[in-house]
Structure 1
């Protein structure tokens, strides 16, 4: 009996607690369901009974969500009167409510009081600042952050102020704030660079470009030892494609911080990728003179030769002196570094140059054979040399020797992109020799290749075969085209021309017509007859705009205008057409990048 009375006593004693717990659970449930009117009833009761910041905050939110401004104002006043856990935030709550009721006099009164009474710490300032910004009280938010900066000299609130300046159109103040943040905290450099690109149009607007340049230069001059400011200035020069002053900054950082040349090498490679070959060579020369260690010499001589070769391929009409300059760069690298595993990739590029501009097929083959025979060479480098050697054998007409080399690479790198490259080459050999069924079987497998380029090539050749072989009992047109295609690869252009002429005369309206135009474009490019090459691409676009080669022709025409005819305006128009007319094209990513770069609104690589 005693235990029974004790149990009843405990139950009766705990009932009020159970009820309170239930009220809170109901209140929180309705709050989370956004049923604020119901939640208000429970939170109002809990606030009256228990008080506390949690219930005050929840009840205030419920009232604000219902736009019960008068009741909300009374709640805040009551909270202030009770003086529970005041931090000064409550005055801002009250001011924002008066702002909602358009009582500007009361609003400003409590905003001023809030600025005076606020207990300034970073968490409180951040919370109040967000509230003021959400209410579009930007002037007061700015005053809040400036006050906080004075009271806490360890934190400048630059990011918060920059956002406010941007909203209010104070461009100079915004840039100053962003630069100050980078100056104080280098960890923000990448995000601030993104913000400057997002909120400024300095690559298009000369006034904004000059504003940013002046601010950065002034800061660097006042703080020459601040590395992050120097890096931000270098980044700006990269955006403006202004590589000359960028080099001065890059070299200065390299010397001041004894960086070992890595930054300068990155600069040189970036300059070369953007066609600023003179700037790249100056950087390479600096590295060669400054760093005599074997690793740097190897990297620089190799990259310098590659840059020279890249420049040569983008010269509209090459002259003997252009070729000689590149040959000298390769010779200097090879003679200095020797022929060994560390220079193997350089020798492969040298072989490619030799084939196209130098002593011809045999000299190129000799270089590649040396690479293949090198002991302890990385297997992928050997495979790459075999692919290049196979290409030369194909040009020489030694088709089955080429197929053998491709087969070796395929066997050694079954699951690698190199293996896919080799299989694609052998599929093309089958196509050239008229074994269309076997070629298509291989191409259908390669459609799933991880490389978009290999996959796209496989899809295009597979469609070419299926459109002109599987559904056509007359195979001669495709056989003629395949034979001509091989002759173009072998640089036997007169023979290729004769076969293509025979094809078009005998089958004037055949579905291969656009392919014939593309073949003649390739022939014109080999002869550096760019006007003729352009005319064949235009025929594809005008006569076969929706066929398989439509986006190819647009892209090749854009590249031709850009790299060989120095007509950026036409190139820009064509890149834009690719984006609009062929958004799913393999070329769309590169087209978008070049389109934006030509317009001046893209961040450079690196």
Structure 2
């Protein structure tokens, strides 16, 4: 039996439950989705969602409807689900994406705000929402989600490491450095990760000066915290390492 014959036989086997009127097979839906056959995928995902009400099937179904420009139908589905689960913040993100697809930015912004406003004091939910915004390149919204999450969880530094990365993307060096230092204050075990990120993204003179200035201020304000002098020593070592090649090259020129 050739490879193609085997694939055809396997496909027929997977499709047979649908042909016999039995419950839809998610493998077939995923196959159609991956192949870009969204009409077929949407039909099966709808059945799976109605049978199981699972998040995965619902999200795939909504995604198909959006990509097929079946906006009115998609809005009805989302409204129905929001009535069932009004506190589920991911639904408002999907609703916002639906408006974005129709170039209705003010309505999209309203839905994104609802998602942030409805955040619970749950670290996983906060991180998931912020990550969703991050994947959409909506960095300001991701920041807002993390900042609100810190307020709800009564810990302003709990998402400091995540915020530092977002400030880096926004090219806000001062706030990036502040957030990395806040992350160390929250959890000193982050030191190797913070050093790695600073080495990668903050090796310019202005970035190093900002880090040095903030470290001096923190050492003065919190003299008993040992992690700041440790990071400052690391910074001086990096500066020395960077200067050495230039010194050697000058000797060669002389």
TM-score scaled by length of structure 1: 0.35
Equivalent residue, structure 1, for 2:211: 212
Equivalent residue, structure 2, for 1:230: 229
CA distance in 2: counterparts of 1:69 and 1:215, whole angstroms: 50
CA distance in 2: counterparts of 1:130 and 1:570, whole angstroms: 51
Equivalent residue, structure 1, for 2:9: none
Residues 208 and 52 (structure 1), Cα distance of their counterparts in 2 relative to 1, 3 Å cut: closer
Equivalent residue, structure 2, for 1:582: none
For residue 218 of structure 1, give the secondary structure of its aligned residue in structure 2. helix
Would the aligned equivalents of 1:94 and 1:107 in 2 still touch at CA under 8 Å? yes
Would the aligned equivalents of 1:52 and 1:84 in 2 still touch at CA under 8 Å? no
CA distance in 2: counterparts of 1:104 and 1:32, whole angstroms: 29
For each residue in 1:325-371, what CA deviation from the matched residue of structure 2 results, as whole angstroms up to 9, or x when unmatched?
A: xxxxxxxxxxxxxxxxxxxxxxxxxxxxxxxxxxxxxxxxxxxxxxx
For residue 103 of structure 2, give the secondary structure of its aligned residue in structure 1. coil
Would the aligned equivalents of 1:87 and 1:119 in 2 still touch at CA under 8 Å? no
Would the aligned equivalents of 1:96 and 1:132 in 2 still touch at CA under 8 Å? no
Equivalent residue, structure 2, for 1:123: 124
* Cα deviation, residue 106, structure 1: 0.7
RMSD of aligned alpha carbons? 3.0
For each residue in 1:87-106, what CA deviation from the matched residue of structure 2 results, as whole angstroms up to 9, or x when unmatched?
A: 22211221233233321221
Residues 128 and 34 (structure 1), Cα distance of their counterparts in 2 relative to 1, 3 Å cut: farther
CA distance in 1: counterparts of 2:152 and 2:238, whole angstroms: 37
CA distance in 2: counterparts of 1:65 and 1:120, whole angstroms: 33
Equivalent residue, structure 2, for 1:328: none
Q: Which runs of 5+ in 1 are unaligned?
A: 1-14, 243-273, 276-557, 572-606
| Residue 172 (structure 2) pairs with residue 170 (structure 1) | yes
* Cα deviation, residue 65, structure 1: 4.9
Equivalent residue, structure 1, for 2:29: 27
* Cα deviation, residue 26, structure 1: 2.4
Equivalent residue, structure 1, for 2:7: none
CA distance in 2: counterparts of 1:134 and 1:227, whole angstroms: 36
Q: Which runs of 5+ in 2 are unaligned?
A: 1-16
Equivalent residue, structure 1, for 2:65: 63
For each residue in 1:1-49, what CA deviation from the matched residue of structure 2 results, as whole angstroms up to 9, or x when unmatched?
A: xxxxxxxxxxxxxx99x84434434224434555433211101233345
Residues 219 and 569 (structure 1), Cα distance of their counterparts in 2 relative to 1, 3 Å cut: farther
Would the aligned equivalents of 2:215 and 2:232 in 1 still touch at CA under 8 Å? yes
Would the aligned equivalents of 2:82 and 2:88 in 1 still touch at CA under 8 Å? no
* Cα deviation, residue 174, structure 1: 0.6
CA distance in 2: counterparts of 1:189 and 1:68, whole angstroms: 49
1:102-501 map, 5 Å:
102-154=103-155, 156-202=158-204, 205=205, 207-241=206-240
CA distance in 2: counterparts of 1:26 and 1:166, whole angstroms: 42
CA distance in 2: counterparts of 1:20 and 1:161, whole angstroms: 48
Equivalent residue, structure 1, for 2:250: 567
For residue 119 of structure 1, give the secondary structure of its aligned residue in structure 2. coil
Residues 192 and 65 (structure 1), Cα distance of their counterparts in 2 relative to 1, 3 Å cut: farther
1:574-585 map, 5 Å:
none
CA distance in 2: counterparts of 1:22 and 1:100, whole angstroms: 29
CA distance in 1: counterparts of 2:252 and 2:183, whole angstroms: 38
Residues 92 and 569 (structure 1), Cα distance of their counterparts in 2 relative to 1, 3 Å cut: farther
CA distance in 1: counterparts of 2:35 and 2:21, whole angstroms: 21
- Among 40, 53, 57, the alignment partner of 2:42 is 40
For residue 220 of structure 1, give the secondary structure of its aligned residue in structure 2. helix
Equivalent residue, structure 2, for 1:372: none
